């Protein structure tokens, strides 16, 4: 089954009061395994960036002013998600912004029937405790050390890992792997390792690298990202 793990960044908390979408990140998973296919776009919100929002994701109005409008990326976005279920943490927040953008350009909004809300899943599985994405990463021993600020694609990648643990799919995979090893041990001779039918595609494009370098250039004199750019 194909599913899309999705995250967004915005200028604020309420699309009904003029807040806008500024970033969308999507990860494709198939049968609960990431395929390597992603969708990631920065979006020009056509407005200023409140200091509170900038502190969360670090996306400035100046940086976003050169990015495409939502209407310029909407077809590619809708083609990528197609009719797949959308896995989102606190889904009502993200979908309210996406649907506000769709409604603004007179496009059909996304039905809430398609949503898989990992926040609700986490609250049912772990009641009475905090279930923020960082908390779930810690609970499931998922490395989120790169998450110094919110970013739609990175958060979608982390959420995909969380989702697989949250629904117990990783444990099922481990049990299957254990059974496969045991059955292999019962046979004589070597057995070829199972390979993916289709190799994973590269996740980062040249355009992504250029967009990242442009973003890093807005972070001051000595951003930590400069330590990694030479290897990117």
Give catalytic residue positions: 150
Closest CA to 88 of 148, 15, 21, 4: 4
Q: Residue 33 phi/psi, 5° resolution?
A: -130, 130
16: exposed, middle or buried (C-beta count within 10 Å: 0-12, 13-18, 19+)?
A: exposed
* 28 and 51 Cβ atoms separated by less than 8 Å: no
Task: Give how far Cα 78 sits from Cα of 64, 84, 99, 124, 201, Å.
Answer: 21, 10, 12, 30, 20
Straight-line distance from the first to the last Cα atom of the chain, in angstroms, rounded to the nearest whole number: 33
Closest CA to 133 of 142, 99, 180: 142
Task: Give how far Cα 199 sits from Cα of 38, 52, 103, 156, 189, Å.
Answer: 15, 41, 38, 21, 27
Report how far residue 155's alpha carbon sits from residue 102's, in angstroms, rounded to the nearest whole number. Answer: 22
Contacts of 146 (CB under 8 A, 6+ apart): 154
């Amino acid at each position: 089954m194909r599913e899309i793990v999705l995250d967004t960044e915005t200028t604020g908390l309420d699309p009904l009061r003029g807040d806008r979408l500024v970033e969308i990140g999507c990860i494709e998973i198939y049968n609960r395994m990431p395929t390597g296919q992603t969708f990631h776009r920065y979006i020009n919100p056509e407005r200023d960036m409140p200091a509170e929002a900038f502190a969360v994701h670090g996306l400035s109005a100046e940086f976003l002013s050169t990015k495409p409008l939502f209407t310029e990326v909407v077809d590619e976005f809708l083609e990528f998600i197609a009719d797949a279920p959308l896995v989102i943490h606190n889904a009502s927040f993200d979908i309210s912004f996406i649907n506000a953008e769709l409604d603004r350009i007179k496009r059909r909004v996304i039905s809430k029937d398609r949503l898989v809300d990992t926040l609700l899943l986490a609250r049912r599985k772990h009641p009475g405790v905090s279930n923020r994405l960082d908390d779930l990463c810690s609970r499931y021993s998922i490395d989120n050390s790169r998450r110094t600020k919110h970013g739609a694609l990175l958060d979608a990648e982390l959420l995909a890992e969380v989702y697989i643990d949250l629904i117990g799919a990783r444990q099922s995979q481990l049990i299957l792997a254990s059974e496969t090893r045991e059955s292999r041990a019962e046979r004589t001779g070597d057995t070829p390792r199972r390979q993916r039918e289709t190799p994973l595609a590269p996740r980062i494009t040249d355009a992504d690298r250029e967009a990242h370098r442009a973003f890093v250039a807005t972070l001051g004199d000595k951003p930590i990202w400069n330590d990694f750019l030479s290897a990117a």
